[in-house]
Structures are given as structure tokens and as C-alpha cells.
A and B are shown apart, each in its own frame.
Chain A
Amino acid sequence: MSSTSSGERTQFPGLRRLKERRYLRLPTPPPPTPTASGDAGAPIRSSSLWRDAWYRYLRNRAAVIAGIAFLALLAYCVIWPIVSPYDPNQVDFSQANDSPSLAHPLGTDQFGRDLFTRTALGGRVSIGIGFAATLVILAIGVTYGAIAGFLGGFVDNALMRFLDALYGLPYLPFAIIILAIFGGGSFWTMVIALSIASWFTTARIVRGQIITLKENDYVRAAHAVGARWLRILARHLLPNTLGVLVIAVFLELPGVILGEAFLSFIGLGISPPDASWGSMAQDGYRAYRVAPHIIIVPSIAIAWLILCANFIADGLRDALDPRTRET
């Protein structure tokens, strides 16, 4: 089955192919997966898609490790600021720029603040922005893609041409302009700035899914028995795009986290005394000659998160591959 059967009507394939491959792994045929439907004699055990996917995910060692590392990072960011013995904003110049030690496992910054605590706090902001922006991206992408795919015809064509036009634009210049419109970086302005030029891929994928699903017999049956369109959309089409959306969360997250870090690093993002990993890196950059660990710590936190997200996305895609599901 080639990708064109899903009603691919785009004019120009190059870049989009590549981005969509990351979601759907288009060209490789799915590996044959042993599912419950295999053995004929055994009683048919009801095995849901998600349960199958869960078992398939657990078989992928890299993905499992990445998942655990990801949860560990989340837990650290949520819990540590509460139980930490240090006030993350307590300035103490007597121990500024300290290298990692027993008292401060990751050292202190140039104001003598404990980096292990501040990194957790910055993580709350960075990861919070990351997830919020990803959700906005999904919300816009799903709405846009569902409308285009479901209505089809002229509307679909117009919407997709519009997407074609915007596809691949560099998001950072536009993010900077949007930050300027709102007069600077705060949590929500960052969310808007980072999501507004990043939802195109999600929209395309959702549209493709909806168009494929629309041809399924159960959708036609629902149509034939007189189900209203809203019911078909909400009950038969959107739930079946959920797999792709779960993957999309972890594919979009790294870009958003990195975008936040870059914006904060060049001084347009989260501003002191609040911390994000990007603004902490900016602090660290100012002191790299005397205390290089200050920039290394938040950067490694960013790298940790991005690595985890990449492996989780790969694992999820293998587990939830839409075409494995059909067989």
C-alpha cells in the first residue's frame, strides 16, 4: 500500500514526505507482529489496540529506558523544589560559582544559588511551556486537519494550498515578532510564539488519517444508517487518530523545548528572577570562563529531555504504527 492511496493531493512532495515519515514511517513495510488474531484454534481473546501497543512498546528496550528516564526527570522537577533544603532564589555570594560538591550536587551559580534546585524549577517552566505549546499545536493541527479531511473538495484544496505556502518557514523569526507583539517573554506568550508556526505537520497528518479512515466500511455504515456528521467525526474518525497524536506529542516536544531555550538564551524569553533552562544557560554563558558547570547543567537537562522524547516517539511509532493496526 502506498501513501498515495490516502488521497494524497499535494502538488509537491519533497519536504513534506520527510516530515511525515517521522510520524508514519511511510516506505518501510511494517514488521509482521504476532497478535492475538494469529492462532486459529485458540479462543479469541479481546485485545485492545492500546494493550497490544503497550506490549509492543515494552519489547523495545531503548524506548522503555527513555520512558523511565523521562518520568524520572518529570518527578525530579515536580518534587525536588518542594523537598529541597535550599531556597532556589536565595542569594549567597560567599559560595558563588561553587563546583559540584556534596552540599550542592550540581554546584552553585554566580549568585550562590543551588543549581540542583534551580534546575528542577527551571524544568517546571521549560517542560510546562513544552507541553502547553505542544497541546496548542495539536489543538490547532487537529481542528485544521479534521476540517480539511472531513469536508474534502474545494475547502480541503484551499486549506491545503494555504498549508503548502506556510510549510517549512523558519519559526524563530516569527516567534521573535510575536514575542515583540506581546511585549516580551512570559509563560503564555512563549507558548503562543512557539506554537504558532509549528502546527503544519500535525494538520497534514491528521487530514491524511481522516481521509483514509473515511473510506472504511464502518464509517460508510454509520453514514448509511443516518448518523449525523458530528457523530461520525467525534465517534469514528477522531478517536482513531489518537495514536498519531500521542506520537506527535513526543515529536513536537523537542522542537518547542529547544525553541524556548534559544529564545531565552538570546534574551527574549523568560526573564529573571524566574528561571527556565534557556535563561539558566544564558546565566551560565556569562560565567563560562570561571564556572563552566553553570551552562553545562541546564544544557544537559535539555539534552536529556530531547533524547528521551526522540526514543519515546520512535518506540510509540513502532508500537502504534497505523498500518500495523490494520493487519
Chain B
Amino acid sequence: MTRLIVRRVLWTIPVILLVILMTFLLMRQIEGNPFRTSERAIPASIQANLEAKFGLDDPWWKQYVRYVKGVATFDLGPSLVLRNRDVNDIVREHFPPSLELGALAMLFALVFGIPLGLLAALRANKWPDYTAMFVANVGFAVPSFLIATLLIYFFAVRWGDIFDIPTSGWTTWQSKILPTIALGLGPMAYFARLTRGSVLETLQQDYIRTARAKGLRRRRVVVVHTLRNSLIPVVTAAGPILGFLITGSFVIEQIFAIPGIGRYYVTAVTGRDYSVVMGLTVLLAMIVIVANMVVDILYGILDPRTREAR
């Protein structure tokens, strides 16, 4: 097991290098210039000086090596557009709200999604199942911007007098309720569907029949024997869900005016702020890579069969 973990952790290093390289090469293809906007052209000599200052005149592989060194020491470089701010500042400022939003949405999804799926599976093909799966299917299909807009419309515009929930910013706990629900509903539906399928599968196993046959109480069979074994594929879902949350946060942060990474990202791309886009992309990719690593290791711990296959 230790060998597996060490190997898995070491494997992330070339992956991260490759992803940085890809992002790096892609970024170089973008037309435009961070120093010159269409309104104000700057003299060629100043342009050259600025490029020299940020090392943009070096050959690309030199820049790449320098960037990787920077990432290894947690230094993502200066911002090209906002002078006297570097990417680390921007991350420090915009990352916590995004992280908190993502964590809250994930929590929401787990807390409501797993029981919903369990309920559906235990009452398979009866009305609780149909209701739960209807909710899950609709929650999965409806785009989050509609959910967000409807939440604002009803809780702030229609019933604003009753609820008094702020619909923008990320300061008080009240302001965090609606974004969490809007972002978490899709993952919740995903967890519910996954849990249902997994529980149904587990219920057919021989050990469940044994547990029942030897007279264990239903509650114990469900919680200890069924749910625990069913949650293994649910753990695996953390990867896709994380991608889902990142994608969703771009929209949700925009709608609720949350000063997070997703919102800042779009600004940085349109402003040609290479180093910020690079830094944020690499950061997002690294989060996903590390999360996938954790999931794989957990999978190995939870399900010994995958260990033996090696």
C-alpha cells in the first residue's frame, strides 16, 4: 500500500509539468499584448524594455523553466497588467471565496444527495424513488444559471420583504446561502443518482443476503453493510464533481458578484494578463490533479481488490 501511495504521489509531478507546459504553449498563441491596449500604443523602445523586464524576450523554453521554478517555490510571478501586484496577491485575495463556495456546495451536495439516493434505492420503483429520481434528473439537467436567477428572483425580488437575503457579495453567512444552493444542486443530483445505482448493486450482493438471513436488524444491514460498501464509487465521483464545481463557479460567481477566481479569470483573459491566466489555470489544474490523486489512493484503501490487481 505504501508503495502504491508513493508511486501515485510521484506520478503527479510529471503530470503537473505536462499541464504547465500545455498551458504555457497555449497561452503563447493568444494574439495581443498586455502592455498595449487599442487606445494607447506605446513606443517600441518602451515595449522592448517592458518585455525584457518580464523576460518575455527569452526563448520559450527558458521562460518555461523559469516558470516551473517559480511554481515549485510557490511564486507565480508578477501580473503584467496590474503593476505592483503579483499573481500570488491575486490568488490570496480571490481564492478563499471560491474555495469556500466550492466546499459549501460540495457539503450541500453530500448532505442532501446521498440520503436522497439511499431513499430512492431502498424504495426502488415506488413513489419515493420516482420523486427522488425526478428531482435528481431535473436538478442535473437544469443549468445552474437558471437556478441562481430563480433563487434571486423569488427570494430577493418576489418575497424580498419576508426573507431579506442579500444576493451579491460574499461577506455575511446569509449572502452565502443562495450561491451554495445554486452551485450545489447539480452535484447533489449527481450524488443522488450515483448513490441509488450503487446501493441497488450492493443490495444484490451475497453478503447482504447473509446479513439478512442471520437476522440482523434492517437498520444495521442498511447502514453498516449496504451504505458503507456503496459509498466507494461515490468517493470516486469527487473528481468529476470538482470539475463540475469549477465550471459552475465561473457562472455563479458572476451572477452573485462573488470576488472569486472564476470571475477574475474571465477578466484576466480578456485583458491579456498572461501571467495571471497562467497562474490561475495551473492552480485550478493542480487542485484537480491532487484531488484525483487523493481519490485514487482512497479507492485503493477502501477497495482492496483494486490493490491486488496490480
Contacting residues, chain B, for A268 (C-beta < 8 A): 266, 269
Query: With an 8 A cutoff between CB atoms, is B150 at the interface?
Result: yes
Considering only residues 193-252 of chain A, those with a C-beta below 8 Å from chain B are none
22 A-B pairs whose Cβ atoms sit less than 8 Å apart in the complex: A11-B310, A12-B11, A17-B299, A21-B233, A166-B19, A167-B292, A170-B247, A170-B284, A171-B247, A176-B265, A178-B26, A180-B270, A183-B31, A259-B247, A266-B250, A268-B269, A295-B146, A302-B141, A302-B142, A302-B143, A310-B137, A310-B141
Cα A28 to Cα B31 in complex, Å, equals: 50
Query: With an 8 A cutoff between CB atoms, is A306 at the interface?
Result: yes
Contacting residues, chain A, for B285 (C-beta < 8 A): 169-170, 173
Query: With an 8 A cutoff between CB atoms, is B288 at the interface?
Result: yes
Contacting residues, chain A, for B152 (C-beta < 8 A): 288
Q: A169 and B19: CB pair below 8 A? A: yes
Query: With an 8 A cutoff between CB atoms, is A71 at the interface?
Result: no
Partner of B143, one of A169, A303, A310: A303
Question: Which residue on chain B has the smallest CB distance to residue A254?
Answer: B141
Question: Which residue on chain A has the smallest CB distance to residue B247?
Answer: A172
Q: A281 and B288: CB pair below 8 A? A: no
Known: A15-B296, A165-B18, A172-B250. A177 touches B243 (CB 8 A): no
Query: With an 8 A cutoff between CB atoms, is A94 at the interface?
Result: no
Question: Which residue on chain A has the smallest CB distance to residue B306?
Answer: A13
Most buried by B among A8, A27, A295: A295
What secondary structure prevails in chain B residues at the interface with A? helix
Q: A299 and B146: CB pair below 8 A? A: yes
Q: A181 and B30: CB pair below 8 A? A: yes
Query: With an 8 A cutoff between CB atoms, is A261 at the interface?
Result: yes
Query: With an 8 A cutoff between CB atoms, is A45 at the interface?
Result: no
Cα A284 to Cα B254 in complex, Å, equals: 15
Known: A15-B295, A285-B149, A307-B137. A177 touches B23 (CB 8 A): yes
CB A88 to nearest CB in B, in angstroms, measures 22
CB A199 to nearest CB in B, in angstroms, measures 14
Contacting residues, chain B, for A265 (C-beta < 8 A): 143, 145, 251, 254
Query: With an 8 A cutoff between CB atoms, is B153 at the interface?
Result: yes
Query: With an 8 A cutoff between CB atoms, is B168 at the interface?
Result: no
Query: With an 8 A cutoff between CB atoms, is A188 at the interface?
Result: no
Query: With an 8 A cutoff between CB atoms, is B29 at the interface?
Result: yes
Question: Which residue on chain A has the smallest CB distance to residue B266?
Answer: A266
Query: With an 8 A cutoff between CB atoms, is A4 at the interface?
Result: yes
Partner of B269, one of A8, A177, A284, A304: A177
Query: With an 8 A cutoff between CB atoms, is A51 at the interface?
Result: no
Number of contact residues on A: which range applies?
Answer: 35 or more
Question: Which residue on chain A has the smallest CB distance to residue B204?
Answer: A28
Q: A177 and B143: CB pair below 8 A? A: no
Q: B149 and A288: CB pair below 8 A? A: yes
Contacting residues, chain B, for A303 (C-beta < 8 A): 138, 141-143, 146
Q: B236 and A14: CB pair below 8 A? A: yes
Most buried by A among B157, B280, B292: B292
Q: A181 and B29: CB pair below 8 A? A: yes
Q: A289 and B266: CB pair below 8 A? A: no
- Contact bitstring B217-252, A, C-beta under 8 A = 1, else 0: 000000000000000010111011011001100110
Query: With an 8 A cutoff between CB atoms, is A296 at the interface?
Result: yes
Contacting residues, chain A, for B236 (C-beta < 8 A): 14-15, 17-18
Query: With an 8 A cutoff between CB atoms, is A325 at the interface?
Result: no
Known: A27-B201, A281-B145. A266 touches B240 (CB 8 A): no
- Contact bitstring A302-314, B, C-beta under 8 A = 1, else 0: 1110110010000
Q: B7 and A11: CB pair below 8 A? A: yes
Q: A307 and B29: CB pair below 8 A? A: no
Q: B145 and A177: CB pair below 8 A? A: no
Q: A261 and B143: CB pair below 8 A? A: yes
Contacting residues, chain B, for A261 (C-beta < 8 A): 143, 145
